[in-house]
């Protein structure tokens, strides 16, 4: 069993990005600038956005954090997005999810200029992704592709099972892995809450990707010997003995499943960290106009 080390990979990618930023600075070209909008006080969102801002500093990007109270109205948030769309210095921006219940996520996503949509959530980017056109890939699936690629894990022709059909992970990664591309060319099955006899499906998987958000859901008897297991779940479990009062666990019962795997991602230290570096990669591409040349 080999661990797919998200910490190592994300540091490696950050070094590559930092080297590119250094070149941009030497050429006196524009420096990438990412803005993040954080609404409310959700502790997990605060920690993820902090990590995004810190990562910008590490690679030499400019960053802007816009913090708003959870009482902000949809109209006010749309005005902020309008301003970010028009601000020439901002190459890309994100609105961290989840948003308070009185705000319609779809309306917010649609308001973001696809050229600045470094989360890759806008239907324009999603549609381009589905058709294999240049686009901003959603950060978590992009991070998973990087993990498979950088560990030289063969995907072509493999049976791949994805658990969960969210717009930001399950659905896009299932499309990406079935595309005629590298990594890609897998035979993909997308399983969800209405799937019958789930273990029958998961046991066939050469590559199993879980993006459910249910702690320790994937048990050893659901996994084939030698499978590659990618755990996207980041679940906070109360733990009085832990320093922060909780600990993080994935969707996969790691202790029991890991010995059966050829490769497995840990939580923490796996896919989550790759989500952040993929956002940086998208922001760099936005700055260089690589996806949408003017």
As annotated, the active-site residues are 52, 96, 119
Backbone angles phi, psi at 214, to 5 degrees: -120, 115
| Structure token pair of residue 96 | 């961290």
CB of residue 249 to ligand L34, shortest distance in Å: 11
Strand stretches in the chain, DSSP E: 2-3, 33-39, 62-68, 92-95, 159-163, 187-191, 207-210, 228-231, 235-238, 246-249, 263-264
CB of residue 73 to ligand L34, shortest distance in Å: 19
CB of residue 124 to ligand L34, shortest distance in Å: 16
Quick one: CA torsion of 266, 120, 156, 162, rounded to 10 degrees? 50
Beta partners for residue 189, in sequence order: 161
CB 67 within 8 A of CB 40: no
Backbone angles phi, psi at 123, to 5 degrees: -55, -25
Pick 51 or 189: Cβ nearer ligand L34: 51
Pick 19 or 242: Cβ nearer ligand L34: 242
Residues forming contacts to ligand L34 in the complex (CB under 6 A) are 47-48, 51, 94-97, 119, 139, 234, 248, 267-270, 272-273, 275-276
Q: Which residue is nearest to ligand L34 (CB)?
A: 272
Pick 224 or 263: Cβ nearer ligand L34: 263
Strand stretches in 178-293, DSSP E: 187-191, 207-210, 228-231, 235-238, 246-249, 263-264
Pick 139 or 287: Cβ nearer ligand L34: 139
Pick 97 or 110: Cβ nearer ligand L34: 97
CB 40 within 8 A of CB 47: no
Give the residue among 144, 126, 143 at the shortest CA–CA distance from 135: 126
CB of residue 25 to ligand L34, shortest distance in Å: 27
How are strands ordered across the β-sheet holding 33-39? 62-68, 33-39, 92-95
Pick 94 or 230: Cβ nearer ligand L34: 94
CB of residue 274 to ligand L34, shortest distance in Å: 9
Cα 41 to Cα 7: distance, rounded to the nearest angstrom: 26
CB of residue 168 to ligand L34, shortest distance in Å: 7
């Amino acid at each position: 069993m080999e661990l797919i080390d998200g910490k190592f990979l994300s540091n490696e990618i950050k070094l590559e990005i930092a080297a590119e930023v250094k070149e941009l600075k030497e050429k006196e070209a524009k420096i990438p600038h990412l803005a993040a909008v954080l609404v409310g006080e959700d502790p997990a969102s605060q920690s993820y956005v902090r990590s995004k801002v810190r990562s910008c500093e590490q690679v030499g990007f400019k960053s802007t954090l816009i913090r708003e109270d959870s009482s902000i109205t949809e109209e006010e948030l749309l005005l902020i997005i309008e301003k970010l769309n028009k601000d020439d210095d901002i190459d890309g921006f994100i609105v961290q999810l989840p948003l308070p219940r009185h705000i319609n996520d779809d309306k917010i996503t649609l308001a973001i200029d696809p050229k600045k949509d470094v989360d890759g959530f806008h239907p324009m980017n999603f549609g381009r992704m589905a058709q294999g056109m240049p686009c901003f890939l959603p950060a978590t699936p992009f991070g998973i592709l990087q993990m498979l690629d950088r560990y030289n894990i063969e995907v072509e022709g493999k049976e791949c099972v994805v658990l969960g059909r969210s717009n930001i992970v399950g659905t896009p990664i299932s499309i990406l892995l079935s595309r005629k591309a590298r990594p890609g060319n897998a035979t993909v099955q997308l399983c969800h809450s209405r799937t019958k006899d789930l273990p029958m499906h998961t046991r066939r998987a050469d590559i199993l990707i879980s993006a459910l958000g249910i702690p320790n859901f994937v048990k050893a008897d659901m996994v084939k010997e030698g499978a590659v297991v990618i755990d996207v779940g980041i679940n906070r479990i109360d733990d009085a003995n832990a320093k922060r009062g909780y600990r993080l666990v994935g969707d996969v019962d790691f202790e029991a499943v890991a010995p059966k795997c050829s490769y497995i991602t840990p939580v923490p230290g796996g896919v989550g960290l790759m989500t952040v570096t993929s956002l940086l990669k998208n922001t760099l591409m936005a700055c260089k106009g690589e996806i949408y040349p003017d």
